[in-house]
Amino acid sequence: MALPNDVDVLVVGAGFSGLYMLHKLRGLGLSAVALEKGDGVGGTWYWNRYPGARCDVESPYYSYSFDADLEQEWEWTERYPAQPELLKYINHVADRFELRKDIFLETTAVSAVFDESENLWTVTSIGPEGGHVTRARYCIMATGCLSSARMPNIPGLESFQGQLLHTGMWPHEEIDFTGQRVGVIGTGSSGIQAIPVIAEQAQNLQVFQRTPNFSVPAFNGPIDQQWYREIKENYPELRERSRHTTMGIPFQRRDQAAIDISEEEREQVFEEHWPKGGFRISSCFNDLMRNQESNDSLASFVRNKIDQMVHDPKIAQLLKPYDHPVTGKRICVDTNYYATYNRDNVELIDVKSDPIQEITAHGIQTEDHFFELDTIVVATGFDAMTGAMLHMDIRGRGGASLREHWEAGARTYLGLAVAGFPNMFTIAGPGSPSVLSNMLTSIEQHVEWISDHLVHLREGGYTSSEAATVAEDEWVDHVRELSEKTLFPSANSWYLGANVPGKPRVFMPYIGGVGRYRAHCTDIASRDYEGFVLK
């Protein structure tokens, strides 16, 4: 089917957000299409196929809740799902709800211009058939927070004659590292997940670490059938509970401050939570991101664990994070990460003390050494939260450009709408809990809120909805003020844009938690969409 010229709603992106949005729009009787750059659906789980790619939220919770039959029929096999299983799930959803006929793959939206005289968006895209223009009443950006992969700015990168791979743009064919000399640049979550798996295959693995990150073991394994059965029996209640928690998962932070108890007692609580795996450890006190001393005690607990897991004390020292609070960057959830450095074929290169100078045809040259490599794996992350949106030329009222509107940092109302850009909505955008949460919970809440809003507009006979400038200003201030009450801004994280040279340093996600945020959005809706100008 050809991409239509006119639709009610145009969705950009076909990951978890775009797929559910499309499904909801159909249910409202609106005509809708989704444009997707990739040649398949799945977003994050389509692009990030690197070995070891896995979710940090347990599988029964990192899944859609909108359809009880889907929930009951799908069978997760592992506690934390790996990328292939997640991609299979998303494809299953696309088939089950017959979404594919309205999804246009290999089609990139390059610009979106608002036509004020008719209250319509004109979206230009490039697809397999060439350029196309689609007019839509509403434009919904489901473009992803972590979908704009960044190559590092290292001199000579393009001259490398071996295999160059980025974790966020991983090839579709199987990559076999057997017998190879492999270098990995970057030790964020992607590097930390890939390194142990590559180490098992490669002849030699050299890890180029600039800054160590906190990582905690997942204790992953086949899903515990009894646990899963209980979840399935109680899904409605568990999902509802998730919607009102801080992180969008159905266990709440323990309501006790670490600062209120002795160091020995804290240690005991950490020890109890460590074997539970993943985020459990960061939820064991309620003041870990508000009180430096509390955070320091968890940090030193994790550093001690590194000492226990890594045999060589010099390597252990290099792996210990020192420049940011635990969870100031999204905590990595790993399988065998630290123990991998006990292998004879793995070497940790500290590029803080011996910086990378250039990449040559045959490897990586640091100030003091040359490392000959067959493959370089780049795990250097993303232009997060704003990158995908700003790749497009988006123009709102009066031809104003989003790039200019966001020049000093992303500005939104509720992470859902932007002043001056009527009838455009963002899913899990900056200013919403998104990346600080289980994103499936946050995505569903946004999709449902937008759907309800579109119904409200239809029933009220409105053709335009726009965030008021004053509402946007207040929300931006509120998001910033909340973050300033925490330790988050002290970390040089991508939450702040700190990983992209020249990007304004603004804390982008809403830190008040999924439950509080949801209550606020519901309240806004109940007050006739306060802060939105409806015409």
Binding interface with ligand FAD (CB under 6 A): 12-18, 35-38, 43-44, 46, 48, 53, 55-57, 62, 108-109, 142-147, 190, 388, 391-392, 427-428, 438-439, 443
Q: Is 64 exposed, middle or buried (0-12, 13-18, 19+ CB in 10 A)?
A: buried
Site for ligand N01, residues 428 to 487, rule: CB under 6 A: 435
Query: Which amino acid, residue 352?
Result: K
- Least Å distance, CB 69 to ligand FAD, is 22
Closest CB to ligand FAD among 74 and 371? 74
Q: Which residues contact 254 (CB under 8 A, 6 or more apart)?
A: 269, 283, 284, 285, 286
Residue closer to ligand N01, measured from CB, 186 or 513: 186
Which CB atom, from 188 or from 325, has the smaller least distance to ligand N01?
A: 188
Q: Among all residues, whose Cβ is closest to ligand N01? A: 188
Residues 275-314 that bind ligand N01 (CB under 6 A): none
> In the complex with ligand N01, which residue's Cβ is closer, 32 or 142?
142
Closest by CA position to 507, among listed 516, 519, 498, 515: 498
Of 181, 204, 205, nearest to 191 (Cα)?
205
Size of the site for ligand N01 (CB under 6 A): 28
H and E: helices and strands count for the chain: 16, 20
Residue 211 interacting entry, from ligand N01, ligand FAD, none, C-beta within 5 to 8 Å by type: ligand N01
Q: Count CB neighbours of 20 within 10 A.
A: 26
Exactly one of 146, 197, 418, 508 binds ligand N01 (CB under 6 A); that residue is: 146
Residue type, 277: G
State which residue, 96 or 458, has the beta carbon closest to ligand FAD. Answer: 96
Under a CB-based contact definition with an 8 Å cutoff, are residues 488 and 328 in contact?
yes
Helix (H) or strand (E) holding 375: strand 375-378
Those residues whose C-beta lies under 8 Å from the C-beta of residue 294, and which sit 6 or more positions away, are 257, 258, 259, 266, 285, 287, 288
Q: Which does 392 bind (CB under 5 to 8 A by kind): ligand FAD, ligand N01, none?
A: ligand FAD
Residue 144 binding partner per list ligand N01, ligand FAD, none, with a CB distance cut-off of 5 to 8 Å that depends on partner kind: ligand FAD
328 binds ligand N01 (CB under 6 A): no
Return the residues of window 41-80 that contact ligand N01 according to CB under 6 A: 55-56
CB of 311 to ligand N01, least distance (A): 23
Residue 162 phi/psi, 5° resolution?
-85, -160
- Amino acid identity of 100? R
Cβ nearer to ligand FAD, comparing 13 with 420: 13
- 317, interface contact from ligand FAD, ligand N01, none, CB < 5-8 Å by kind: none
Residue 76 binds which entry of ligand FAD, ligand N01, none, CB below 5-8 Å type-dependent: none
Closest to ligand FAD by CB, 190 or 215: 190
What character string, x for contact with ligand N01 (CB under 6 A) and - otherwise, covers 80-119? ----------------------------------------
Give least dist CB 521 to ligand FAD, A. Answer: 17
Q: Quick one: 35 or 356, whose CB is closer to ligand N01? A: 356
Helix (H) or strand (E) holding 302: helix 292-309
Backbone phi, psi, residue 388, to 5°: -65, -40
Distances from the Cα of 5 to the Cα of 23, 62, 73, 223, 230, angstroms: 20, 35, 37, 46, 48
Under 8 Å between Cβ of 365 and 359? yes
CB under 5 to 8 A by kind: which of ligand N01, ligand FAD, none does 13 bind?
A: ligand FAD
Per CB under 6 A, contacts with ligand N01 among 160-189 are 167, 185-189
Per the document, the length of the chain is: 535
318 in contact with ligand N01 (CB under 6 A): no
Nearest in space to 167 (alpha carbons), one of 50, 258, 250: 50
Measured from the CB atom, the residue of 37 and 137 that comes closer to ligand FAD is 37
DSSP letters, 216-277, are: EE----B--HHHHHHHHHTHHHHHHHHHTSSSSSSSPPPS--GGGS-HHHHHHHHHHHGGG-
Q: Choose the contact partner of 63 out of ligand N01, ligand FAD, none; CB within 5 to 8 A by kind.
A: none
Site for ligand N01 in 333-392 (CB under 6 A): 333, 351, 356, 379-382
| 211 sits near ligand N01 (criterion: CB under 6 A) | yes
Least Å from the CB of residue 390 to ligand FAD: 10
Are the CB atoms for 92 and 74 separated by under 8 Å? Answer: yes
Token pair 């029929």 is at which residue?
73
- Which residues are near ligand N01 by CB under 6 A? 55-56, 146, 152, 154, 167, 185-191, 193, 208, 210-211, 330, 333, 351, 356, 379-382, 435, 494, 499
